[in-house]
Amino acid sequence: MLAVKKASMQTTSSYQVMANDPKLLALEEFDDLYDVVCETFIVLTGEHLKFPLPHYWERGYYREYSLVINGESDCGKTQVALSIAAWIAQKQQEKMNYQPYFIKVGTVDSLRDCVSQGLMRANVPIVLDEVKLGAPRGGSQGTATLEDGKRLLESASSSNVGARHHDVPLHEDQPKIFTSNAMSPNGWHRDLPIDVFEQTPQQRLQYCADVKAIFKRAVFANVRSSLISADLRRSYREARFGNGASSSSSSSALPHRG
């Protein structure tokens, strides 16, 4: 995403991002957010649940579900995740005696540092950028299991998630937003079903308890095209390289991830 924005979002901790940082994009600046669909299923019935991405914050789904934003690279997943977290932080912390903030990490193990720095609190969202649940973990712990995922994805109540050397306590009402280049829930963790949202409710009811627990706690939003307009990319290039930047410059000249 916009590297100039991300590089400057540091306060006393590299993990802490102030919700009112002017370098964050406002949610209104993104393109086509209503075309991005959040999906999961109701575990008691197998019914497919889906809603437009903006309903995640507008209708308070973040109180019940963690959000996994997955899909193609170069589409603005990271920046929209940061902006959603900022919106939720301002909403949940508006009556607190400190400036609203959220946490951004690149690994689950980094949450240990957030605990030691006093950043982990109820009502503080966490962005786990480019974190794939099924990726190998540090040390000899191997790949994260669905049991690990259940604890990590819990938003409505407190839980503990395993990290290197000791567990990390996660607080009640602490929403999590993941970004990943995985193209599906199965790509995010290999033990999740393939084509889960194309199957019937009856088929979904046959899933094991651990799989159901993941979808009880998470919604998946697949991003298939850029959420950042060509005009915004162009203005960034002009600010960085001057008005003489060639019109043929590739949009990849804009340094960003996800």
Whether the CA torsion 215, 212, 176, 128 is positive or negative: it is negative
Note the pLDDT of residue 135.
63
Q: Give the Cα separation of 246 and 195 in Å (integer).
A: 43
The domain of 81 spans 3-242
Dmax over CA atoms of the chain, in Å, equals 60
Considering the domain boundaries, does residue 253 fall inside one? no
Note the pLDDT of residue 50.
97
Considering the domain boundaries, does residue 254 fall inside one? no
pLDDT tens profile 229-247: 888 877 756 765 666 554 4
Q: Which helix (H) or strand (E) holds 18?
A: strand 16-18
pLDDT tens profile 50-65: 999 999 999 999 999 9
Note the pLDDT of residue 172.
83
Report the CATH number that the domain containing residue 59 is assigned in CATH: 3.40.50
Q: Give the Cα separation of 171 and 160 in Å (integer).
A: 9
Regarding predicted confidence, which is higher, 250 or 69?
69
pLDDT tens profile 64-119: 999 999 998 889 999 999 999 999 999 999 988 899 999 999 998 899 999 999 99
Note the pLDDT of residue 41.
98
pLDDT-based confidence at 133, cuts 50/70/90?
confident
Considering the domain boundaries, does residue 122 fall inside one? yes
Considering the domain boundaries, does residue 7 fall inside one? yes
pLDDT tens profile 146-195: 988 888 898 776 666 655 556 788 888 899 999 999 999 999 999 999 99
Pair of tokens at residue 78? 């990271």
Mean pLDDT rounded to a whole number for the chain: 84
Note the pLDDT of residue 206.
97
Considering the domain boundaries, does residue 142 fall inside one? yes
Q: Give the Cα separation of 132 and 97 in Å (integer).
A: 34
Q: Give the Cα separation of 155 and 38 in Å (integer).
A: 16
Q: How long, in residues, is the chain?
A: 258
Considering the domain boundaries, does residue 126 fall inside one? yes
Residue 185: phi, psi to the nearest 5? -55, -40
Q: 136 pLDDT exceeds 90?
A: no
Please tell me the total count of domains within the chain: 1
Residue 240: phi, psi to the nearest 5? -85, -40
